[in-house]
C-alpha cells in the first residue's frame, strides 16, 4: 500500500477529553502514605518524587521493597527524586538530571490540570539502560504531552546494577523462601501495586493501566507479562525494542543458585564480588559486611563505558529465580501462560544486535546452518561483501526485529490482539549520520512527543508532525487498547497470515503494509528454532 500523508496535529487524538468542570483538579492529593502537593504548568498537573517504597538502604539493601512509611503534613512533590545508583554515561541519549542515590524508589505522575467527569486511563513507563543506567528524570521522558491528551502518565525508578540484581548464599540463607535476586523487578511490581492502591486519588482508573517500556524496560514488560507476581496489575502492554527470543533484554538464563555450563549462578557471581572486596565469609557476618559497603563501591565497574574488570564475573544481571522470573518468556508465550491483555510490540530499523567483530562473511552467516548460503543471498543481494554492515543487520534481526514478529504472531495465534510496528523515521538533522535507519531508542522522543528535549532547534515541522502522529498511536493504545483512531492511517492487528505491520519511515507512515523483510526474518526464525535445545 502506498504511503499516506501525515495528518495535522489537531487530528491526532482519536477522541477528545471528557468535558472539564469549571474547577481544576486539586494540586493536593491524599495518598495512603500522606498528602502530596504538585504543581501546574501549561495545563498539566505533575507530582514528582513520590516515595512508593522505603529507601532500600542499610539492612534493606537487597530486600524486597517495603511500602513507603507515612509522612506528616504535606510532601512537596515538585522536583524529581534521586535516580538510582549508576555510573553516568556521557553519551546517553536521555541523561538523568539528578544525583544518583541508593535512596531512589520514587515515582512521578502527570495528569491534566482540568478536572474531568470520568476516571482517566493510566500509562506506566519503564525506562531502559541495560539494567545499569537510566531513570525517570530525563527530559525526553516528560509525561506532559500524554497528560494534555487525556492520559495519566506514571514513571518509576527501579534499582540498577548490583543493587537491583544480586545474589549471594548469605541472602538465600537469610530468606530461603522469599523473593531473591531480582530486586529491580520487585521494585517495578511494587510501583504497579502502588498505582493500583493510589491512582484513583489522582483521578486515574486502576483497571485501565497500560504498561510500556523500551530496551531493558521493554524486556521488563515481557517479564511482567509472564510473571505470576504481576498478574492483574495492568490491562495492556507495549514492548519497544525489548528482545524476546530467550528474553535477551531481561531475565536471561542465569539461575539464582545453580551453575550452568559457562554461566555461573547469581550466587557464584555474588561470591566473586564479595571476594574482590575482601569478604570471604558467606554467612551473616559476610552479608553484614556487604551491606555496609559504600554505594559507590557496590556500583563500581557496572555500566556503559565502564572498564571491564579482569577475572571471574562479579555482576549477574537479571536471573531466573522461579518466582518473579519463572522462565524464558518466549516459551511462556508459546504455552499461553502470559497475561491476556492487548499487546503492542516493535523495534527500530537500525536497532542494536551486531555484537562481536566477525572477520568474514562465513562467520556472519554460519549460525544459519544449512541455510547459510540462502541467508547470505537474502541479506546481500548486491554482493557488497560488507562484513560489518551485514553483521549489524543479521544481529539486529536476531535480537530485536524477528523476536518482535515472533511474539506478535504467537499471541495473535492464541486469539490475543497484538499490533506490530517497525520504527524507521530519522529526524532530518541526523540523516547524514544515521543512513541505515533509526538506531536503538530513537523512537522514544517521538512516543513522548518530546523531540525538542533531544534535538532542540534542529527539529523541523516534518519531524514534529511525525512525532505527533507516533504519540497519537501510543495515546490511543493507552486509552482504548488499540492504536487506531480518527484521522490516523489504519494499523491492522497482526496476523502471521497477512503479515501486516505499521512502518514509521522517513517520508511518512505506511499502513497495512506486508513486511518487506519477510524473507530475511523467516530465515532468522528458522535459525532461532534450530538453536532451541529440546
- Residue numbers annotated as active site: 215
Whole-angstrom distance, CA of residue 120 vs CA of residue 183: 30
User: Which residue, among 176, 172, 168, has the nearest Cα to 268 in the 3D structure?
Assistant: 168
User: Which residue, among 219, 241, 242, 238, has the nearest Cα to 479 in the 3D structure?
Assistant: 238
- The residue behind cell 540462502 is 374
Helix 402-413 × helix 518-531 angle, to 10°: 80
- The residue behind cell 521493554 is 218
Question: HEC string of 150-219?
Answer: CCEEEEECCCCHHHHEECCHHHHHHCCCCCCEEHHHHHHHHHHHHHHHHHHHHCEEEEEEEEEEECHHHH
Which bin fits 142, alpha (ψ -120 to 50), beta or left (φ > 0)? beta
- Are 20 and 116 in contact, with CB atoms under 8 Å apart? yes
Give the distance between the most distant pair of CA atoms in the chain: 70
Per DSSP, the three-state class of 455 is helix
> Residues in the chain, how many?
534
Torsion of CA 125, 147, 106, 297, to 10 degrees: 50
Whole-angstrom distance, CA of residue 156 vs CA of residue 147: 16
Q: How far is CA 122 from CA 185, 237, 337, 360, 368, in A?
A: 20, 12, 24, 49, 43
Whole-angstrom distance, CA of residue 451 vs CA of residue 445: 5
- Are 154 and 123 in contact, with CB atoms under 8 Å apart? yes
Whole-angstrom distance, CA of residue 248 vs CA of residue 252: 6
Residue 314 DSSP class: -
Whole-angstrom distance, CA of residue 431 vs CA of residue 429: 6
Question: HEC string of 350-390?
Answer: ECCCCCCCCCCHHHHHHHHHHHHHHHHHHHCCCCCCCHHHH
Q: Identify the burial level of 42 via C-beta atoms within 10 angstroms of its C-beta, where 0-12 means exposed, 13-18 middle and 19 or more buried.
A: exposed
Amino acid at each position: 500500500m502506498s504511503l499516506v500523508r501525515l495528518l495535522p496535529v489537531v487530528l491526532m487524538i482519536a477522541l477528545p477529553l471528557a468535558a472539564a468542570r469549571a474547577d481544576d483538579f486539586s494540586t493536593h492529593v491524599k495518598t495512603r502514605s500522606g498528602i502530596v502537593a504538585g504543581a501546574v504548568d501549561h495545563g498539566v498537573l505533575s507530582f514528582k518524587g513520590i516515595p512508593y517504597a522505603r529507601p532500600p538502604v542499610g539492612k534493606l539493601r537487597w530486600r524486597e521493597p517495603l511500602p513507603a512509611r507515612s509522612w506528616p503534613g504535606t510532601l512537596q512533590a515538585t522536583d524529581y527524586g534521586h535516580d538510582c545508583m549508576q555510573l553516568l554515561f556521557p553519551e546517553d541519549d536521555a541523561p538523568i538530571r539528578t544525583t544518583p542515590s541508593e535512596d531512589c524508589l520514587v515515582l512521578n505522575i502527570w495528569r491534566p490540570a482540568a478536572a474531568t467527569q470520568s476516571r482517566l486511563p493510566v500509562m506506566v513507563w519503564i525506562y531502559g539502560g541495560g539494567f545499569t543506567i537510566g531513570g525517570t528524570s530525563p527530559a525526553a521522558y516528560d509525561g506532559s504531552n500524554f497528560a494534555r491528551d487525556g492520559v495519566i502518565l506514571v514513571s518509576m525508578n527501579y534499582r540498577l546494577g548490583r543493587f537491583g540484581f544480586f545474589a549471594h548464599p548469605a541472602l538465600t540463607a537469610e530468606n530461603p523462601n522469599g523473593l531473591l535476586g531480582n530486586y529491580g523487578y520487585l521494585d517495578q511490581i511494587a510501583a504497579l501495586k502502588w498505582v493500583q492502591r493510589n491512582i484513583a486519588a489522582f483521578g486515574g482508573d486502576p483497571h485501565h493501566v497500560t504498561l510500556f517500556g523500551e530496551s531493558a524496560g521493554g524486556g521488563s514488560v515481557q517479564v511482567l507479562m509472564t510473571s505470576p507476581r504481576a498478574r492483574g496489575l495492568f490491562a495492556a502492554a507495549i514492548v519497544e525494542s525489548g528482545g524476546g527470543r530467550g528474553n535477551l533484554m531481561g531475565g536471561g538464563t542465569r539461575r539464582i543458585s545453580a551453575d550452568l555450563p559457562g554461566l555461573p549462578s547469581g550466587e557464584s557471581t555474588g561470591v566473586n564480588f564479595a571476594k574482590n572486596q575482601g569478604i570471604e565469609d558467606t554467612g551473616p557476618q559476610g552479608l553484614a559486611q556487604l551491606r555496609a559497603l559504600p554505594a559507590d563501591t557496590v556500583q563500581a565497574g557496572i555500566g556503559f563505558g565502564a572498564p571491564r574488570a579482569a577475572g571471574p564475573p562479579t555482576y549477574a544481571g537479571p536471573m531466573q529465580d522461579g518466582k518473579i522470573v519463572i522462565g524464558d518468556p518466549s516459551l511462556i508465550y508459546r504455552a499461553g501462560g502470559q497475561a491476556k491483555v492487548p499487546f503492542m510490540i516493535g523495534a527500530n530499523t537500525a536497532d542494536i544486535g551486531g555484537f562481536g567483530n566477525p572477520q568474514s562473511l562465513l562467520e556472519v552467516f554460519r549460525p544459519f546452518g544449512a541455510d547459510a548460503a540462502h541467508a547470505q543471498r537474502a541479506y546481500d543481494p548486491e554482493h557488497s561483501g560488507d562484513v560489518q554492515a551485514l553483521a549489524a543487520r543479521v544481529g539486529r534481526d536476531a535480537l530485536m526485529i524477528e523476536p518482535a514478529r515472533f511474539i506478535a504472531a504467537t499471541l495473535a495465534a492464541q486469539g490475543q490482539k497484538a499490533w506490530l510496528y517497525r520504527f524507521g523515521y530519522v529526524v532530518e538533522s541526523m540523516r547524514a549520520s544515521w543512513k541505515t535507519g533509526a538506531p536503538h531508542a530513537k523512537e522514544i522522543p517521538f512516543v513522548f512527543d518530546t523531540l525538542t528535549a533531544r534535538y532542540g532547534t534542529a527539529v523541523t515541522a516534518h519531524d514534529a508532525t511525525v512525532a505527533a502522529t507516533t504519540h497519537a498511536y501510543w495515546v490511543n493504545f493507552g486509552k482504548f487498547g488499540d492504536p487506531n483512531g480518527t484521522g490516523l492511517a489504519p494499523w491492522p492487528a497482526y496476523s502471521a497470515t497477512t503479515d501486516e505491520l505499521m512502518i514509521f519511515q522517513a517520508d511518512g507512515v505506511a499502513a497495512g503494509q506486508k513486511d518487506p523483510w519477510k524473507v530475511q526474518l523467516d530465515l532468522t526464525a528458522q535459525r532461532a528454532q534450530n538453536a532451541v535445545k529440546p
